[in-house]
Amino acid sequence: MENVIVPAYNKNEEEEKKLILREYRALLRALKQRIKKGDKRLLRRAFEIAADAHKDMRRKSGEPYILHPVAVARIVVEEIGLGVTSAICALLHDVVEDTEVTLEDIEHEFGERFAKIIDGLTKISNVVDLKADTTIQAENFRKILLTLADDPRVILIKLADRLHNMRTLGSMSREKQLKVSSETSYIYAPLAHRLGLYEIKSELEDLALKYTQPEVYTEIAKGLKETRRDRTRYINEFIKPIKEELQRNEFEFDIYGRPKAIHSIWNKMRTKHVAFEEVYDLFAIRIILDSTPEREKEDCWKVYSIVTNFYRPSPERLRDWISVPKGNGYEALHTTVMGPGGRWVEVQIRSARMNEIAEKGLAAHWKYKEGQPIQQESKLDSWLHHLREILNNPDTDTLDFLQDFKLDLFTEEMYIYTPKGDMRVLPKGATALDFAFDIHSELGAHCIGAKVNYRLVPLSHPLKSGDQVEVISSSKQRPSEDWLAFVTTAKAKSRIKYYLKEEKRRIADDGKGILQRKLEHLKVPLSQHNVAELCNYYKKSSPLDLYYAIAVGNIDLKELKDFAVHGDKISQPAREQKTEARRAHAEEEQVKQKPAKGAELIIFGESSDKILYKLAQCCQPIPGDDVFGFITSGEGLKIHRTDCPNAAQLLAHYGHRIVKTKWAKNKEISFLSGVRIIGLDDVGVIQKITNVISGDLKMNMRSLSIDSKDGIFEGNIMVYVHDREELDELCHQLASLDGITNVERFESSETK
Ligand code: MN
């Protein structure tokens, strides 16, 4: 994909040959300690096959293509810490896809083990096409994850491949840069994170940012460069006393300051609404100890005690990932202390072993697992196990799964205990019901409540890290649709959806029976044609939906007598007259039919009798906002803002359920809207704000809450406005008040 074919003839051929060999030798050097008897021959063979297969190919940058697989192999060995097998597969990773070499050739030459990995690599190659049909995209994502559960090396080599492509993205077209970068931040960076490959994850994110938002990237990079000298001076000052004390205590260690990744600085600027100058933690201090596995925990705490003898720690920012490692295997002690000049500084303390796991994640994890007495199943293993379980469930809807799973990738973890004291890791925000599903699908399905720290709570109760939870279940309990609203884990969601579908199928069976009997009266069979004809007439997207609607009485089949019968086929009557049934199931249809094709739906801000709709709670649109209508499956038509956080997903996945929508001009109804203001706390500020709202603009305010801390106040105002124009005017006037630094609209549902 990323290569162009050029004639083999090239003046600099000799020079290039030298360069290629140099790179290959560097790979051998990196592998040195791990090369066993016979490995060298295999490596050489892989290199020769790849070099020969790619000999006429060049990358967009003009360099010989073979440099790419060699570079990928080096990343695999040097940065991920994998061995000879993976290096060989990396060398060969593009040959089956891009050249004449076949999988059989590989198997013949190297054996089945290698062929399997290469096959995996070929299958997932370039599959995440964001512009592709979302279903295909989701299926591909699932393929990647399945491979991961099968042999994680495939994913690790794929990550190395992606990293090298990102590092060399400069010579690609702008369009290609954007596509590859968004894929990278969409899937590869989160995967790297989940596998504990922190270095690679940060580099991928930084590079993706560099290409998707070049101005932002350059601004931060420039800022970092300009402040480097001050930073180095500060770090040295901070480190000095700690270093001396550690030496006095005869520790073997390494201590240094490490700048934060550009992407994470940008994240902070974005989420906290601050400028670069206001991000105070541009670096972290790292202390890496040479210690034995038996002593490392104790040693890390000793170092912690030394650090906090010099600098006061912030008690709520101590993270002990040594006693309880993160789900991806990460171990370390993190603390934030008050450094010289009153600046908060993060200090990370870990042993050399922990450091290797932090940098190389999964691979290092394997390395340390071998040769150790079998411990409890590591978290990463159980994560892979869990993944395999979900993926192998044939009824998982891939698209939904993709959404749910992505959420899992990004969320933080908390630790929940069973009544016996066993620990489970759940994403932050998980509820009692999530916990029940995490223990066992059946337990989740029959869960009626829980006791959290001995107190009875409902299913929807959100858990906190450290909670001890006892699940209460009943054999009579069944999962219901509303459960989906308060579970957050992919596992719980996919299991509930599965149960609901089963349930629907069971009910639909009755409907199928009813239909079959009715058709028998007409002396026609329940054939594919006849069912399709009925689905069409009753506007049902599948036979299952049709049977279900019949079973629950939404369709009574009265109109069946109007159908024409030709032999064993029925055909639907002409549809002029409005029949009973059509009205009965017409909430969706009404909306579809009212605005003629291509026309716009005009809404008035309040549901009229003609068209029923609701304003979406997630974005709370008001007249003047750009909006669209969305036909929901259970709640009729909903109006969303086009910049609603849910809009992209709705527009992308359900284009056919979108109704073009426009506001009617009227100023009779007012809408509750939220405005958040941030500014310097000063006497009379409330007075000034209320003056603008009630005095100048004569608006109705419903509530005003002010939270003030350290001289900064944050105010949330709920106010009634007629349309966007009024709201903009209000924001404008508030922003021009003295001392107000930030004014923005918000949706009340997002307030805490
Ligand atoms: Mn490649």
**What's the pLDDT tens digit per position in 239-256?**
999 999 999 999 999 999
Q: How close is the Cα of 101 to the center of ligand 1, in Å?
A: 15
97 included as an active-site residue? yes
More confident residue, 317 or 300: 300
> Maximum CA pair distance of the chain?
99
Residue type, 188: Y
**Global pTM value:** 0.58
Burial class (CB in 10 A: 0-12, 13-18, 19+), 60: middle
Overall average pLDDT of the 461-473 stretch: 87
**According to the CATH classification, is domain 671-746 in 3.30.70.260?**
yes
199 included as an active-site residue? no
Residue 713: which H helix or E strand, with range?
strand 712-721
Annotated catalytic residue within 23, 39, 98, 588:
98
Q: How close is the Cα of 715 to the center of ligand 1, in Å?
A: 52
Residue extent(s) of CATH 3.30.70.260 domains in the chain: 671-746
Q: How close is the Cα of 1 to the center of ligand 1, in Å?
A: 9
Q: What angle do CA 688, 693, 699 make, to 5 degrees?
A: 165
Strands 283-289 and 312-313: unpaired
**Options 1.10.3210.10, 1.20.58.100, 3.40.50.11290, 3.40.50.1370; CATH of 13-197:** 1.10.3210.10
Q: How close is the Cα of 93 to the center of ligand 1, in Å?
A: 6
With DSSP H G I counted as helix, E B as strand and the rest as coil, what are the percentages for the chain, rounded to 5? 50, 20, 30
Q: Model confidence over 561-591: pLDDT tens digits?
A: 888 888 888 888 775 444 444 444 544 444 4
- Cβ neighbors of 52 (< 8 A, separation 6 or more) are none
Please identify which residue in the block is written with the tokens 């209460």. Answer: 472
Q: What is the DSSP letter of 409?
A: H
Q: What whole-number percentage of the chain has pLDDT above 70?
A: 80
Residue type, 127: V
- Sign of the dihedral through C-alpha 100, 106, 109, 110: positive
Residue extent(s) of CATH 3.30.460.10 domains in the chain: 227-360
Q: How close is the Cα of 355 to the center of ligand 1, in Å?
A: 29
Q: Which of 675, 671, 644, 670 is nearest to 658 (CA)?
A: 644
Q: Annotate 717-727 with b (16+ C-beta within 10 A) or e (fewer).
A: bbbebbbbebb
Q: How close is the Cα of 60 to the center of ligand 1, in Å?
A: 13
pLDDT given at position 666: 62
Overall average pLDDT of the 541-568 stretch: 85
- The tokens describing 515, both together, are 């239909």
Q: How close is the Cα of 188 to the center of ligand 1, in Å?
A: 14
Q: How close is the Cα of 92 to the center of ligand 1, in Å?
A: 9
More confident residue, 96 or 290: 290
Q: Which of 311, 315, 287, 312 is nearest to 301 (CA)?
A: 287
Residue extent(s) of CATH 1.10.3210.10 domains in the chain: 13-197
Annotated catalytic residue within 97, 105, 107, 533:
97
Q: Which of 408, 418, 417 is nearest to 488 (CA)?
A: 408
> Is the per-residue pLDDT at 736 higher than 80?
yes
Query: Please, are residues 233 and 290 in contact by the beta-carbon 8 Å criterion?
Result: no
What whole-number distance in Å separates Cα of residue 8 and Cα of residue 51?
13
Length of the chain: 752
Q: How close is the Cα of 403 to the center of ligand 1, in Å?
A: 27
Cα distances (angstroms) measured from residue 207 to each of 169, 211, 620, 684, 729: 9, 6, 36, 47, 40
Q: Comparing 190-194, 263-267, 490-494, 732-736, which segment has the lowest mean pLDDT? A: 190-194
Q: How close is the Cα of 157 to the center of ligand 1, in Å?
A: 9
Q: In degrees rounded to 5, what are phi and psi of residue 432?
A: -55, -40
Q: Model confidence over 646-661: pLDDT tens digits?
A: 776 677 666 667 777 7
- The tokens describing 214, both together, are 């070049």
Superfamily of domain 227-360: Beta Polymerase, domain 2 (3.30.460.10)
What whole-number distance in Å separates Cα of residue 398 and Cα of residue 707?
44
Q: Which of the four pLDDT bands, split at 50, 70 and 90, describes residue 551?
A: confident
What whole-number distance in Å separates Cα of residue 211 and Cα of residue 496?
40
> Is the per-residue pLDDT at 417 higher than 70?
yes
pLDDT given at position 376: 42
What whole-number distance in Å separates Cα of residue 525 and Cα of residue 518?
10
Q: List, in sequence order, the alpha helices (H) in 151-227.
A: 152-167, 174-183, 189-194, 198-212, 214-226
HSE-up (13 A, CA, CB side) for residue 714:
10
What whole-number distance in Å separates Cα of residue 260 and Cα of residue 223?
12
Q: How close is the Cα of 571 to the center of ligand 1, in Å?
A: 55
Cα distances (angstroms) measured from residue 605 to each of 447, 640, 645, 666, 730: 41, 12, 21, 9, 20
- Cβ neighbors of 529 (< 8 A, separation 6 or more) are 569
Query: Please, are residues 400 and 494 in contact by the beta-carbon 8 Å criterion?
Result: yes
Q: Model confidence over 426-444: pLDDT tens digits?
A: 888 899 999 999 999 899 9
